Amino acid sequence: PMPDLSNAEISIEGEYGFCIVCGESFHWEQLTNTEAGSYCDNDAPGDWVTETVLTVAVMGGEDWQMWIDALDEAGVLADGAKTTAYTYIGKELTWPIYGHATIGKAKEDLDRATVAIKESTSALNGEAYVSSLNAVVTQASSAIPIMPLYISALFKVMKADGTYEGTIEQIHALFTENLYGDSPRFDDGGHLFQNYKELEDDVQARIQTVWDSVTTATIDELTDYVGYHNEFLRLFGFGIDSVDYEQDVDAVAPIANMID
């Protein structure tokens, strides 16, 4: 099991980062190399209290709570103000990392912050939620074991079903259907449940089928790794057909109304 942090006394002053440590012993058989387009074998390390505390500090709800407290103290929150933190939890395939690992402890801290924010803004009828979203391509998710392969398989299934949503479409749906919708949808953990399409049993079963059979030779056939990789490149401004990357670029460009 993951360590009990209730009595942990660890200094985290200065700069610190996070580490993905799993609270159960397992072997990831398929980790996709985003750059090479292949998968490899890898063992996840054992757990450490220190790394868990640091991960909670980076990815938990403390900063969110501090921001809302500061806005409240400054008197700039409107009556009925709503705030939400985005999270990804997933299901069986991703639970060992997102549910039970150091990241899972950080997500528990988001839930703690939700309760604290609701209490601190109760006089304003404030609302605070954690929003559970679909897996998306980010610089962070690309570095997390198993996620490139999982997302590639997810894209293949959801695009075939016509249920795929880009990041903008997903957040638009979150606001219209859930955050400001008449009948918000919640998961069992009390989060706004925006990733319900991803977590449908049929979708997860088809991803599992791909997961059990994919190889480097079949990754482009069985998954949408090409689509995943294109989205990854676009995070950094690459892979855009309308851009000629062979042209010289002037790094110093004047911007109208820019104040030096």
Residues that are catalytic: 98
d(CA 225, CA 35): 11
Measured distance CA(54)–CA(3) in Å, rounded:
13
Please give the Cα distance from 132 to 103 (Å, whole number).
14
What CA–CA distance (Å, rounded) separates 120 from 90? 29
Q: How far apart are CA 179 and CA 82, in angstroms?
A: 8
Q: How many degrees, rounded to 5, is the angle at CA 68 between CA 8 and CA 90? A: 65
DSSP annotation of 251: S
Tell me how far CA of residue 87 lies from CA of 179, 213, 221, in angstroms.
14, 29, 30
Residue 69 CB neighbour total at 10 angstroms: 14
Write out the H or E segment, with its range, that includes residue 118. helix 102-120
- Distance of alpha carbon 227 from alpha carbon 156, whole angstroms: 9
36: which 2 tokens?
Answer: 């090479």
